[in-house]
Each structure stands twice: as C-alpha cells, then as structure tokens.
Amino acid sequence: MNDNVPELHRTLSITTVVEFDAPVTGMAFLADGTLATGLGDGTVRLIGAVDKPVTVQAHADGSAVLTLRADPDGKSVLTGGDDGRLARTDRAGTTMTLAKFPGHQIDVLAVSAASGLRAVAAGRSVHVLDSAGRTVASSDDHPSTVRDLAFNPKGKRLAVAHYGGATVWSVTTFGRNAARLKWTGSHLRITWSPDGSTVLTSTQDTELHGWRVSDHQDMRMQGYPTKIYSLEWLMKPMTLLTSGADRVIGWRFTDGGPMGRPPLELGRGMRRVVTRVAVNPKQPIVAAGFDDGHVALYSLSDDAMIDSRTSARDSVEALAWSGDGARLAAGTRGGRIHVFETPHQIS
Amino acid sequence: MAATPHIPVTVLTGYLGAGKTTLLNRVLTQTHSRKYAVIVNEFGEIGIDNELVVNADEEVFEMNNGCICCTVRGDLIRIIGNLLKRKDRLEAILIETTGLADPAPVAQTFFVDEEIRARAKLDSIVTVVDAKHLAARLEDSHEAAEQIAFADTILLNKVDLVSVDQLGQVEARIRAINATAIIHRTERCDLPVATILDRGAFDLDRVLAVEPTFLTENDHQHDDAVRSVSLRETRPLDPVKFDDWMTALLRTRGQDILRTKGIVDMKGSASRYIFQAVHMLCDSATGKRWKPGESRVSKLVLIGRDLDVEVLRKSFSACVAT
C-alpha cells in the first residue's frame, strides 16, 4: 500500500480487518488480549483471539459511545455515552450501568491502575468511583463544563481541564481544597507527567500549556495547526508525544526542556495531519494515526520511521497497543478497524 | 472521501416568556426521530424531559486570536463534536439560548472552530418576540434589541393579544432594528417546524435574497440604539478599496456592528461578491454571475449600535472604482 517503504522494513503485518457501520470512538486491549472497541451506535465490540466478535449494546440504541477506557481491573472496559450513562462491560459481554447523568453527554473518563480509582465528568461535576463503582468523592466546583480528567501517577490526585486552566484536587480532600492552575482559553485535554511534576493541557487555540505543580510556573508550546487530541508519554527519556501537526511532535523533559528547546519531529513532510498517537508499552516506539487513514511507526531511539501503512481512507480516531506491545489497533471515523502485528523486537 | 453535506444548525433566541418553550415543544412533538438534536441551557427555564435534549453550559470564553470581541461557546464545540460521532446522521440541530443570552458567541462558534465548520453550518438565527411586551422589553434591556438584530427569522408571537394597529407599530419597530429578517406572525408559536429549520439563511447565496426595507430618517419614531443601515451603489466598486474599508470598519467598529450582509458588484468581475459578518468575523464568496443586461447594484446592510448613516454612506461611496 505504501510504495515508499522498502519491503525489508515492512514490520507491520495486518492480522485482522473488521468493518463496522458506525464510527470508531474508542479502543483498548484487555489483559487477556481481547480488543474492545466503542462505536457511534452505542455498542462495544469485543474481538478475542479465538471466539467470534461479540456485540454488546452497552448504551441506548441510537446513542453513541463517546469515550472508552480499559478498567483498572484489566478484565473490562468503562464507556461513557451520549445517553448520559457510564457503563462497564466485561470480556464475556456482560454490561452494567455504573452511573446515570440524564441530559448529559458522558465524554470524559479517567482511570488509575495505581489506585484502582475511576473518575467521570458530567457538565461541571466530577465524580470519583472506587473499584466497586461506589462514588467516593464529588464536586462541581469548576468554572465551566469539564473537558478532561487525569490522575497523577500514584492515582491520589486528579487534574481537571476547563475554561481558564485546570483544577487539581487531592482525592482525600476532594471538593474542599483545590489548586487552581490558570491560563486564558478553553482547555481540552489534560495529562500528568510520569514523574508527577507537571500538568499539561492542549487548548482550543491549538497550543500546549503546562504548569509545574510545585510552583505553578507556566510553560507554553505553540505552532500546532490543529487541535491536539493525543498527549502520550515515553517514560525514558521522559518525552511528551502529541498529535495535531503534520508530523508527530515530541517534547523532551530532560536537560531543562522542553521550554527553549526544539521539539522532536517525526515523519516530517507528509501532507496529512496526525490525529492520534500511542506509545508502545515495552519499547521506545510511537504509533501515529493520520487523517487519511495512514498508520505509521517511529523509533524513538533513532527518530526514524519504521513503517507506514494505509488502513483506510478516513481519519484514524482511535489507536491502542496491547499490553505486551505486540499488537497495534487502529480505528477510523468510517468504522474500519485494523489490527497490526509486530512479530519481533523491532529496534 | 465524498463530501458530506453540512448539518444545519438553528439558533433559537428570545426573551423569557416570549414563547420559546412553546416552540421547542412543537419542534420536539413534530420531530420524533433521533435525527434531530435539541441543545438547551442546563440552568435555563426549559424543563423538558426528552431523549432528544442535550444540556449545555452557556459559559463563553475568549479566543486568544487577537480578536477582542471574539467570545465563543466552548461547550457547543464539545456537544456538536460528540453528536457527529453518532452512526445516524443528524438532519438538524437546534440550539436554545436563555432569555438574556447574547447570540453572538453562538454564531461566532461556527466561524472559529475548524472541525465544526467542516461538518456543521449555522443555518439561521430565529428570535421569538412577544407582540404585547416587546416595546417594554426594548426599553428595559439591550439584549432584546440585540436578539432582534441578530435574527434571520423573527416569530412575532402572541399576535392575538394586540390590536392590528399595535401589531403594525411593533413590526415597524422590528424593521427599524433589522431590515432584512423574515417576520412570521404567530399565535402560540403555531407554525410548521420546516418554516424555521434548514432555511439556509446563512448561505451566502441567499444573503439579501430578501430585499431590505429601505429606511429614511423619518421612519425612526423611536430612538433605538440598535438599527439597520442599508446602503446601495449602482457604480462598480474597487475590490481593494472595498476590502480595506470593510476590514478597517469591522476592526474599529466590530463591537458595535452586530451583523453585516452584502452583495457587491466589483469592477472587472462577472459574478457577485457576497459576504456577511458577525461582529468582526466575516465570510465571503463568489456568488451568482450577473446576467447580461441585468442592472448591477451593490447592496449592503449593517445592523448595529450608534451607526452614523452619512459617514457610512460617504465611506461606502469612496469605494467606487475610478
């Protein structure tokens, strides 16, 4: 499909192609390798290694799954839908509603493997749920609708994105003691650096904004042509990898960076926009999905492209690696999913 | 990829008690399918329990794009983005705003967000006004005049509660503020939903399809701060002069000029140049070709506060090609 890549370097082999008749809105692998896909028809589709795909109507017929996250238990996925429901669906296809927020689109979820906590937003309110699905903390003390949530690496603090910046809560004093991180504009996605030192957001003004948590010192990274939907981390050397440009943009948080240092640029010169990125959990490799259906892999040890494939002709809206880093799933707005196999150590 | 048509979005404004809730209930009962979505303010007066209804946060934020009046409804970007993820394509989206809301941020949202702009389009702004109480509303709130100023369609509601004379006066008052809007006289907002949804009022091709009512100074019995100014010119205009003038006008007076609509005969062009603006944000395109022998007239309507007709007329005439 891609004529620019010599055959020798083709390391992505397609193992599974499935076409659904609804947009792909979220994807995650469960611990046993089952791929869970959320769709714009309110269903979760489970594709296991052996059995036939299972269709689960997790949300109301005619609604859409808006966000999907692997649950910290490893055996199920959490989904938010535009039917106002937060649902959990396990690999056997059993689904249950954990919470209902009538009249709201549930498009924001966060989970923490470290603490086992989950968080969900509805309008200006945020609710923290324990592993049994019970609400342990809630607050609506936010200046506008909550756009994203992120737990810190220990899962004890929660960062909330909204107009004018972000709010950071400690789970134990949730709703009482907030740290307010301020910056003008509408903040869309939020992430916490793996060392816990920095909170970063992407904004409607197509920028990245960061705050050092200890003293709220600002950092600002500009130059993106479109909104940034993916904020993903490479642990070592600590690097933030982002979508939103015609190449993968990476910001190294080493040697005094990222401010004042040029970013990493992977895949430059392509006339298409990176819509999603995903970092391999085992190797220094980042996958990128493009608005024309391309999927590409880049090595972060030598900043070179490993492979590029076309999976479809429409925008990649979800990218997920399996826990062992051997499989990569891409899903598009048109409802097509591709699973790529990376059979051996690439770099 | 095949280009998919844009989903038309109708914005519904109107003062508390004018009849918006009645109209929304009509829309919801006439359109049972999930092909329509209705976005309401979650802290507003509309208490409708219906699966088609989505709650929105009316809070606005300022874009960091250097445009000082560019406030945007971020929650609309989120909600419409989510609606576009549904398998079934929506046929129309209706956005209700609260009685005291300024319609500008809603309209501006459709100009500034690229993703929304690629897949949905502002179709028209519909304002419901109460025939009996409009005069009083215009006295005690500037929002009432602004909602009329922004409208493409006005539902002059509760016409059964006023006399024919009073109705004529109210309509003249509306016309002084907004010379181009289509006015429907209604009782209990009783009109087919198709009259307000998917009208294409924001399509540049249809700008000024309605011949503006030309006003003379004598028409102004009331000194409404917000009013329409219609300008016309039979000589072809110079594209550079016109663009410089309009850019400077919107930059310096864009906060006071709420809507601008125009069809212009540019020197050297065989087709109409059409444009419209909401405050400082404007959109332009090449329109239909002039027919052979057709009289080419440039028409411009500005709706805003404290507009000096003579100054505008002179500066507009200065754009004539030499």
Contacts of A244 in chain B (CB under 8 A): none
- What distance in Å separates the CA atoms of residue B215 and residue B202, rounded to the nearest whole number? 23
Contacts of B54 in chain A (CB under 8 A): 82, 103-105
Cα B194 off chain centre by = 18
pLDDT, position A257: 80
Percent of the residues in chain A that have a pLDDT greater than 90, as a whole number: 82
Q: Mean pLDDT over all residues of chain A?
A: 91
- Based on the fold, state whether residues B264 and B313 are members of the same structural domain: yes
**How close A103 comes to chain B (CA, Å)?**
5
Cα A194 off chain centre by = 15
More confident residue, B210 or A31: A31
Report residue A267's pLDDT band, with 50, 70 and 90 as the boundaries: confident
Instruction: For an interface test with A, give the residue of B87, B90, B111, B115 to mutate (most A CBs within 10 A).
Output: B87
- Return the sign of the alpha-carbon dihedral for residues B45, B49, B53, B58: positive
Report residue A1's pLDDT band, with 50, 70 and 90 as the boundaries: very low
- Asked whether the beta carbons of A328 and A8 are under 8 A apart, the reply is no
Contacts of B30 (CB under 8 A, 6+ apart): B192, B193
Contacts of B289 (CB under 8 A, 6+ apart): B270, B271, B272
- Based on the fold, state whether residues B195 and B226 are members of the same structural domain: no
Judge: B114–A226 Cβ closer than 8 Å, yes or no.
yes
**How close B298 comes to chain A (CA, Å)?**
36
- Based on the fold, state whether residues B251 and B167 are members of the same structural domain: no
Of B54, B83, B88, the CB nearest to A103: B54
ipTM above 0.90, yes or no: yes
- Based on the fold, state whether residues B43 and B190 are members of the same structural domain: yes
pLDDT, position B1: 41
Asked whether residue B209 is assigned to any structural domain, the reply reads no
Identity of residue A305: M
CA-nearest of A169, A173, A153 to A161 is A169
Average pLDDT over residues A263-286: 90
CATH of the domain at B283: 3.30.1220.10
Asked whether residue B212 is assigned to any structural domain, the reply reads no
Domain total in chain B: 2
Omega before A281 within 30 of 0, i.e. cis: no
Secondary-structure class of domain A225-341 per CATH:
mainly beta
pLDDT, position A270: 67
- Based on the fold, state whether residues B141 and B30 are members of the same structural domain: yes
Q: Is A42 left (phi over 0), alpha (psi -120 to 50) or beta?
A: left
Asked whether residue B207 is assigned to any structural domain, the reply reads no
**β-strand pairing of A336-341 with A148-151:** unpaired
The alpha carbons of chain B give a radius of gyration, in whole angstroms, of: 20
- Based on the fold, state whether residues B49 and B154 are members of the same structural domain: yes
Out of B202, B234, B255, pick the residue that ends a domain: B202
Is pLDDT at A116 greater than 90 in this prediction? yes
Out of B172, B202, B232, pick the residue that ends a domain: B202
pLDDT, position A49: 72
CATH of the domain at B51: 3.40.50.300
Asked whether residue B322 is assigned to any structural domain, the reply reads no
Judge: A144–B61 Cβ closer than 8 Å, yes or no.
yes
Judge: B65–A205 Cβ closer than 8 Å, yes or no.
yes
Predicted TM-score (pTM) of the model is 0.91
pLDDT, position A2: 41
pLDDT, position B172: 93
Instruction: For an interface test with B, give the residue of A183, A186, A229, A243 to mutate (most B CBs within 10 A).
Output: A186
CA-nearest of A21, A96, A18, A26 to A53 is A18
Contacts of B77 in chain A (CB under 8 A): 186, 204
**How close A212 comes to chain B (CA, Å)?**
22
- Asked whether the beta carbons of A29 and A327 are under 8 A apart, the reply is yes
- Based on the fold, state whether residues B156 and B34 are members of the same structural domain: yes
- Asked whether the beta carbons of A44 and A29 are under 8 A apart, the reply is no
Instruction: For an interface test with B, give the residue of A39, A67, A100, A105 to mutate (most B CBs within 10 A).
Output: A105
Asked whether residue B70 is assigned to any structural domain, the reply reads yes
pLDDT, position A198: 97
Is pLDDT at A347 greater than 70 in this prediction? no
**How close B157 comes to chain A (CA, Å)?**
29
- Based on the fold, state whether residues B96 and B174 are members of the same structural domain: yes
Judge: A62–B88 Cβ closer than 8 Å, yes or no.
yes
Q: If you search the block for the tokens 């212009």, which residue do you land on? A: B264
- Provide the residue-wise pLDDT of chain B in tens; the chain has 322 residues: 445 788 999 999 998 888 888 898 888 888 766 688 899 987 665 566 667 788 898 888 888 766 666 889 999 999 999 999 999 888 899 999 988 888 899 999 998 899 999 999 999 999 999 999 999 988 888 889 999 999 999 999 999 999 999 999 999 999 999 988 899 999 999 998 888 888 877 766 666 665 555 554 444 545 568 889 989 999 999 999 999 999 999 999 998 999 998 999 999 999 999 888 999 988 888 888 999 988 899 999 999 998 999 999 999 999 999 8
Judge: A107–B82 Cβ closer than 8 Å, yes or no.
yes
Domain encompassing residue B55: 7-202
- Based on the fold, state whether residues B135 and B51 are members of the same structural domain: yes
Task: For residue range A137-194, list pLDDT tens digits in order.
Answer: 999 999 999 999 999 999 999 999 999 999 999 999 999 999 999 999 999 999 999 9
| Residue extents of the structural domains in chain A | 225-341
- What distance in Å separates the CA atoms of residue A320 and residue A323, rounded to the nearest whole number? 9
Asked whether residue B137 is assigned to any structural domain, the reply reads yes
pLDDT, position A342: 78
- Based on the fold, state whether residues B285 and B163 are members of the same structural domain: no
pLDDT, position B284: 86
Asked whether residue B1 is assigned to any structural domain, the reply reads no
Asked whether residue B41 is assigned to any structural domain, the reply reads yes
